[in-house]
Amino acid sequence: MKVKLARNAGFCMGVRRAMEITLSEAHRGDESLFTYGPLIHNRQVLDLLRSKGVDVKEDIDEHDKGRIIIRAHGITPNEREAIRSSNLKIIDATCPRVAKVQAIIKKYNNKGYFPVIFGDAIHPEVIGLMGYSKGQGVVINSIEDVEGLPEKKRLVVVSQTTQDIDAYRKTTDAVKARYPDSIIFDTICHETYKRQMEVSSLASEVESMVIVGGYNSGNTRRLYQISRSTGRPTFHVETEKELKGLWFSSTETVGVTAGASTPNWMIKSVTERLKSMGKSRQHALGSLVRRVFLFLLKSNIPLATGAFSLTYAGLRLSKGNADLIYPLLTLLYVYSMHVLNRFLDKEASTYNDPGIAFFYTQHKTFLITTSLLGIGTGLILSLSLGIAQSLLFLALTILGLVYSIPIIPWRFGYLGRYAKIKDLPGSKTMAEALAWGTISSLLPVIGWSNPFWPGVFISFLFVSSMCYIRSGLFDILNVQGDLIVGRETLPIALGEEKALNLLLLLNGFFGILILISTSIGVVSSLGYPLISCFLISFLYLTAYQKGLMRDGSPLQPIAEGNLLLAGLLAFIWKLL
């Protein structure tokens, strides 16, 4: 069955921020860590946080000690004061958009306006907002409630940030008609509005809809209601285990979206399960081709082939010997290291991409066998080049394996946090880039009689930068899973926005460096067509930054296809 995933499914900005703050704190320090009330409306995520030592605290005692996180919904001023009176350290994860609504209520309440909040009276966000009205406000949730508002009052009207935009507009129209001087603010989160518009649009393109999220999540229930109102069969599930084949027995295309408190790994688990259900128009041959393609994609063979192409391009760029044995060594190394490190670090894969994690479990014997054969074949080939090449290949292989293996015992206190090389902040992206650059540009040089070192250095930077940019982007895509397991990748160390800006900056810098190096003759004229690889990197990084591509599914083939393009350009350049 074909699955169409909504572009804006999953964590909203406020929830993502609260989760990142909580998970970062969970991996920092030994003090007790609490959230003031459930962090988000998702049972599975709360169970996960509990396993990380994050407890939920509903009541505050003056003798309480440790750290307490204010959830994205926000709290009342009285609750905040009670926490400050205890021995708890406040970590504020209130959504900035909720904080803005709180500020509006506080400002206009002080000016004598009567606060009216459109929302669910028992929702934590609304309870927090009411606290800023100092007992003077009222909560409404329909046009009918407008009739019950007090007369001769100056009203200021706001909405709970996750409410239905159409219902709010109809209600505010009624308020404006009865109270012409009322001040009305559009405080519904823009992300909420986009999700609600998107679910209606998506429902018109598919035969049925699946909404993923907690049953007690208000915004998820609203997505479900909007989808049902379109007339499309709609199913609300929390996990993939609740999906039933009977629902989709005659369905060829299904749409999927998720509430603002639903993490990526749960959405991916649902979409992977749906792909194996329902009907398919695909011919048997087409289905076979698709399965083979997906097998190759998940097994890292396209990535290894991209490394082959990148090495070939780098050797041609440096005016060196482009014997195919060197790109082949890179292919064997990259394939083997990526496969083995997935098994050594399978916990992160479970959250970053459940489909890939299941694939590796399903084909464990084949993948481990072929990766070990790859290492053995690489050692034999490198030995045929010389003892120095063989030793370097062996050293890179050992370093690649040690990367995910503990080398510092946990009992060594603070250093125990960095038991593995991969635990060092930002090390994953840099280590991968340096390894690719070394095996593709430096290993071949050992066999050359008189290498042109400036050209070799530029070739090393070309290969390493292309690898770094690709790897850095996927670190951003996988930030949720990496946070859960405590891995401090580049976007976790810098923040996602800064990490993306850094990748764009490096992409531009190395693109200009290759252009200058080519124009002054340090490298071959191949440098000119290779600039297109940096242009493509710029395009997909920018597309991600602007929200045009948020899912890894289209980004992976584009990013890895860019590596293949480098080899193709080098081959055409050689022919011409």
Provide the annotated active-site residues: 125
Spatial neighbors of 559 by CB under 8 A, at least 6 apart, are: 470, 473, 474, 537, 540
β-pair partners for 117: 139, 158
Q: What is the CA radius of gyration of the chain?
A: 28
Spatial neighbors of 34 by CB under 8 A, at least 6 apart, are: 54, 55, 56, 57, 66, 67, 68, 69, 88
CB burial of 546-562 (b: ≥16 within 10 Å; e: otherwise) equals eeebbbbeebbebbbeb
The tokens describing 305, both together, are: 């082939």
Closest CA relative to residue 317, chosen from 561, 111, 31, 510: 510
* Cβ atoms of residues 10 and 265 within 8 Å: no
Return the SS3 of 72. coil
β-pair partners for 161: none
CA dihedral 36→39→43→44, nearest 10 degrees, is: -130
Q: How many angstroms separate the CA atoms of 227 and 30, rounded? A: 45
* Cβ atoms of residues 60 and 82 within 8 Å: yes
CA distance from start to end of the chain = 45
* Cβ atoms of residues 510 and 461 within 8 Å: yes
The tokens describing 466, both together, are: 């292309």
- Where do runs of H (alpha helix) occur along 415-551? 427-437, 453-477, 479-485, 490-494, 496-519, 527-545
* Cβ atoms of residues 190 and 163 within 8 Å: no
The tokens describing 271, both together, are: 């979409």
Q: How many angstroms separate the CA atoms of 550 and 467, rounded? A: 20
| Phi, then psi, of 160 in degrees rounded to 5 | -55, 140
